[in-house]
Amino acid sequence: MDFRVEVGDKEAGTIPYESLPAVTYLFREMGFDVQPDTENQKVQLYSALHGKRIVLSSDYDVKHNTFRKHLLERKVLEYIQTFLSACGAKVILIDEKKESERADFHVYLSLFEIPVIKDPILELIHNSKSTNKKLLDIFHYECTRTGTKFKSNEVVRGANNPFINIQIMYPVITEEDFWGKFGEKYAMSITIGILARFQDSSPLSVLSLVPIEILSNMFVHSQNTGLKLEPALQKEKKLPEKKKFLLKKPTINKRKEAEVFLDYHIFIEELKERNKIKLIGNLHIKNIGTEVLRNPVICLRSTPSESIKISGQILPPNVANTLGVMKNEETKGWKYMNDEWFEEMEKGETWICPIQSKNINPRQTESLTNLQISVIQPVENSNIRVEAFVFFKEQDLEISSSNQISLLLTKKQ
Chain-wide mean pLDDT for the chain?
77
pLDDT tens digits, one per residue of 200-229: 555 555 565 665 555 555 443 333 434 343
pLDDT top residue among 330 and 60: 60
b/e string for 184-194 if b means 16 or more Cβ within 10 A?
ebbbebbbbbb
pTM of the model: 0.47
Nearest to 360 by CA among 273, 294, 281: 294
Cα-trace Rg, the chain = 30
State yes or no: pLDDT of 28 exceeds 50.
Answer: yes
Residue 16's domain comprises 2-48+202-244
Look at residue 36 in the predicted model and tell me its pLDDT: 82
How high is the pLDDT of residue 47? Answer: 74
Could you tell me if residue 250 is inside a domain?
A: no
**Which CATH number is 294's domain given?**
2.60.40.10
Distance of CA 265 to the CA centre of its chain: 32
Residues 118 and 30 in one domain: no
Q: What percent of the chain has pLDDT over 90?
A: 10
Residue 293 has a pLDDT of 93
399: nearest Cα among 221, 259, 220, 209:
259
In a domain, 251, yes or no: no
Please tell me the chain's helix, strand, coil percentages from 3-state DSSP, rounded to the nearest 5.
25, 35, 35
pLDDT of residue 375 exceeding 70, the answer is yes
Do 405 and 278 share a structural domain?
yes
pLDDT above 60 (res 378): yes
Residue 331: pLDDT over 50: yes
DSSP letter for each residue of 339-371:
TTHHHHHHTTEEEEEESS--EE-TT-EEEEEEE
Mean per-residue pLDDT, 46-59: 82
Q: Are residues 232 and 338 in the same domain?
A: no
Single-letter amino acid, residue 127? N
Judge if 374 and 404 occupy the same domain: yes
Is pLDDT at 390 greater than 90 in this prediction? yes
User: Using CA atoms, how far apart are residues 98 and 58, in angstroms rounded to an integer?
Assistant: 11
